[in-house]
Structure 1
Amino acid sequence: MPNFGATEILIILFVVLLLFGSAKLPQLARSLGRSARILKTETRGLHDDTEPEQGTGTGEQATPVARPPALPQGEPLPGLPVPRHERSRLH
């Protein structure tokens, strides 16, 4: 992997400034930060999902979580607003 010196980094920053302009650079940095934050939380969530559940050590198994019953196709979820384009279809 090549070593970047101060001159190379300044040239790269100058080219980025020319391409995006000074007004777009803060927006670009903000979106990069958001993307990195989202990636970090998603990988943490994947890591948490793949860890085996720790038992109490007494040989007991974890109780499975019951899933809620499935709603019939086309029915809205209770407590959620129905979009306007679907209101006429439900009545």
Structure 2
Amino acid sequence: MSVLEIILIGAVIILIFEGKKLPELMKGIGKSIREFKAGKEEPPVK
């Protein structure tokens, strides 16, 4: 993905979720990324 595509997607997200809900959305995305990384680092369960 190019930088222009990322900026365009970000602008659409801002328009859809408005300014009020955006911090809550970003918090949820950040939490999901942290959980994904933590799950990736754990050894597989046998």
TM-score range, shorter chain: 0.5 to 0.7
TM-score, structure 1 as length reference: 0.40
What's the C-alpha RMSD, in Å, of the aligned pairs? 2.2
Q: For 1:1-91, list aligned pairs within 5 A.
A: 4-6=2-4, 8-46=5-43
Structure 1: give runs of 5+ residues left out of the alignment.
51-91
Structure 2: give runs of 5+ residues left out of the alignment.
none
- The structure number with the bigger radius of gyration is 1
Tell me the CA shift for residue 5 of structure 1: 4.3
Q: Identity over the aligned pairs, expressed in percent?
A: 30
User: Residues 26-82 of structure 1, C-alpha deviation per residue, up to 9 Å, x if partnerless?
Assistant: 1111111111111111111126x68xxxxxxxxxxxxxxxxxxxxxxxxxxxxxxxx
TM-score, structure 2 as length reference: 0.68
